[in-house]
Structure 1
């Protein structure tokens, strides 16, 4: 715990980490997946691959959120992370399923899309943090999925407003993450991470920053791997 003389010293950890990852976040907006999604020109096969990976990621993300709820130090944090877990598993998956239905994809089609190395790596990382680290490190690792998705969705929506673009087949996805309700969840998660950092020692704060950065890197990798429709390089060596 920090002493009273240091109270508030770490309260800006989220802003600090957001600034520190500026180059990484800009690179995400410039990735072909997000650039083409913004223009509505992203190939359906790539978006389908992304949705299949994201649906599987959300199960792991939801489990990690549930652990955060269990570790939460007060009822308000417990309610937020428990609610976020429910949103991830039910609400966001409903968005995926609406696209699956539109694309005519059934269970057999989705099962044929193997979980990518990056998707498995990201979910495994979050679940490892959930099991081996404290509450503060865990919620710092979970924050980028909230914050970066809102940042990307908002940036795309602003670009559309400037250019007057319309009839984007991926508009429902864009609107979901640029939504005011989602923005409110982002602000709540930021506040919880700042609150946890304010009460933490310097070693824990450093670990929180490292977890935040690593999750940001996985966010970049997730979209990049979706565009490449990443497969396992060892597939041909399987028996």
Structure 2
């Protein structure tokens, strides 16, 4: 039986994907032992990432004539603004992260390269390939949230982070996105299928590196 896009891409990303679950950033976040300075460093880099992630939703939506993909991207952008970005703003207030601190925090190589990778998929590829590069972020976070959902972190802000990715709505949206990309995969050339898989695999590798970047407070 022929495998679909998400099965192929997931299998090719198996090592970095599953290593994310056991990275110290994740295990210590769950246990409550994660240094809050590391979490703050993560949030500052993630702010830059999510800002561009949301912009990519809009740019990819503008670049495609596929109504189903366009509608999905627009809906995801609205969900990101009302959900994850709103939660991040709450975290920033709780941790007293100021606009001055945001302005003066350099963007790390990993955050910069990850965002650049996704833009590249749009500008040298197309909307479908770019969408494939964005799926690992949402899908992996949903799986980690679900995995940690019954373990409970003793640190309230860490538990709030877990809770934001472990809802039924988040899981249902990921299933919709996966199904859509599986269908789109069947509609493109073999060359573009390969580009979709490669884009997904690189993003999965960058997801793992994002935890490492945060945990080690990566610098240029």
- What residue ranges of structure 2 are gaps of 5+ in the alignment? none
Matching residue within 114, 134, 145 for 1:122: 114
Q: Is the 8 A contact 2:31 2:154 kept in 1?
A: no
Matching residue within 1, 20, 33 for 2:12: 20
Q: Is the 8 A contact 1:60 1:126 kept in 2?
A: no
Residue aligning to 2:209: 221
CA displacement at 1:209 relative to structure 2 = 0.6
SS of the residue corresponding to residue 177 of structure 1 reads coil
Structure of larger gyration radius: 1
CA displacement at 1:144 relative to structure 2 = 0.4
- What residue ranges of structure 1 are gaps of 5+ in the alignment? 1-7, 233-239
* Aligned counterparts, 1:45-194, within 5 A: 45-160=37-152, 166-194=154-182
Residue aligning to 1:4: none
Task: Tell me how large the CA RMSD over aligned residues is.
Answer: 1.8
TM-score, normalization by structure 2:
0.92
1:204 matched to 2:192: yes
The 10-residue stretch of structure 1 (114-123 or 103-112) with the greater mean CA deviation from structure 2: 103-112
Distance 2:104 2:81 in 1: 21
CA displacement at 1:76 relative to structure 2 = 3.0
TM-score, normalization by structure 1:
0.85
CA displacement at 1:184 relative to structure 2 = 1.7
Q: Can you list the C-alpha shifts for 1:173-205, whole angstroms capped at 9, x where unaligned? A: 101111111112211211121011111121111
The 10-residue stretch of structure 1 (141-150 or 96-105) with the greater mean CA deviation from structure 2: 96-105
Distance 1:77 1:138 in 2: 11
CA displacement at 1:207 relative to structure 2 = 0.9
Distance 2:88 2:2 in 1: 41
SS of the residue corresponding to residue 86 of structure 1 reads helix
SS of the residue corresponding to residue 178 of structure 1 reads coil
Distance 1:21 1:78 in 2: 26
Distance 1:95 1:130 in 2: 28
